[in-house]
């Protein structure tokens, strides 16, 4: 792990810290206050804010975790949040930051996931991303990171338009999930989604496949959040006009349909150095690769 940091520092310097300006202008996203835009999903007594209300904390103990959701649904856009993950011994703990079309995880839901898988002290965190279409997932990728996500806040973002879904970490594209421009069963595009986050116990699978169990003597486990931004098409029944435009919003314009050369260089570096699982390369699990893997 000691070799990663110099490589990433060189990477970010040479690439101008991920020249995302053509894909995500910093001044186009609107920041959201918690009270005005979110609801607690469960266990309100496990939710706290800083005195100024700008930092939000979710707590997990042996009794329960906690979660929140946006009140507004979106269909396409740019969605971003700064998170600081549970420090110390967090084996078995999952912090989830995701978009979903349903409030109750319905069996036919669409979903875009960041899941941060806890660790034993001193071991690196793992980020798992996944994409669901009509209730079908199984499209996991797992990455390690070039920093310790428990020491400070880092930005995790999703770009979603009709052409692709991109998962970003500190504006580094770590995963690009493409559409084929045809009716298909793998690209979620028809359903508006809420944004969620939650912390919960998953020691049956999250750390080393469930071998490492949650140490409840270390509870409560706390994940921290701030600076939620959304620049997207707010859903309005029966069908908002902004869903179909490719001219009014940067996230649906031509420049947002593909990575720039510098972004592609960084994305390729991530692929060579930080990917630890890719379902599209798991031929034992998928002897016939899913259609989207061939794009």
Active site residues: 111, 115
Q: Residues with Cβ < 8 Å from 235, sequence gap 6 or more? A: 72, 73, 74, 75, 192
Residues 102/118, Cβ–Cβ less than 8 Å: no
Provide φ and ψ at 20, rounded to 5°: -90, 0
DSSP 18-63: T--TTT--TTSSEE--HHHHEEEEE-GGGEEE-TTS-EEEEEE-SS
* Residue given tokens 């199984």 in the structure block: 138
Q: How far apart are the first and last CA of the chain?
A: 32
117 Rama class: left (phi>0) / alpha (psi -120 to 50) / beta: beta
Residue 264 to residue 173: CA distance in whole angstroms: 8
In whole angstroms, how far apart are CA 201 and each of 105, 135, 206, 263?
Answer: 17, 22, 9, 35
**What's the gap between Cα 14 and its chain centre?**
25
DSSP 188: -
Strands 55-60 and 221-234 come out as: antiparallel
Residue 168 to residue 20: CA distance in whole angstroms: 10
| N residues, the chain | 295
């Amino acid at each position: 792990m000691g070799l990663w940091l110099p490589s990433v520092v060189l990477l970010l310097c040479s690439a101008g810290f991920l020249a995302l300006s053509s894909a995500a202008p910093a001044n186009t996203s609107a920041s959201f206050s918690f009270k005005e835009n979110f609801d607690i999903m469960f266990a309100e007594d496990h939710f706290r804010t800083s005195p100024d209300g700008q930092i939000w904390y979710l707590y997990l103990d042996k009794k329960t975790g906690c979660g929140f959701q946006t009140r507004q649904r979106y269909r396409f856009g740019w969605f971003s949040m700064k998170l600081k993950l549970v420090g110390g011994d967090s084996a078995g703990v999952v912090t989830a930051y995701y978009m979903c079309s349903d409030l109750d995880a319905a069996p036919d839901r669409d979903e875009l996931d960041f899941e941060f898988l806890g660790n034993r002290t001193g071991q690196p965190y793992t980020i798992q991303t996944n994409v669901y279409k009509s209730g079908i997932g199984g499209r996991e990728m797992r990455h390690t990171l070039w920093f310790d996500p428990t020491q400070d806040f880092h930005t995790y973002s999703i770009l979603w338009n009709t052409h692709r879904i991109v998962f970003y970490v500190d504006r580094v594209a770590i995963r690009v999930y493409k559409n084929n421009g045809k009716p298909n069963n793998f690209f979620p595009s028809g359903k508006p989604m809420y944004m969620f986050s939650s912390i919960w116990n998953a020691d049956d699978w999250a750390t080393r496949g469930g071998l490492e169990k949650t140490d409840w003597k270390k509870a409560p486990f706390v994940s921290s959040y701030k600076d939620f931004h959304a620049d997207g098409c707010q859903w309005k029944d029966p069908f908002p006009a902004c869903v179909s435009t490719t001219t009014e919003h940067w996230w649906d314009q031509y420049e947002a349909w593909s990575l720039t050369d510098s972004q592609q260089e960084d994305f390729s570096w991530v692929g060579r150095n930080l990917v630890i699982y890719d379902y599209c390369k798991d031929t034992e699990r998928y002897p016939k690769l899913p259609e989207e893997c061939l794009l």
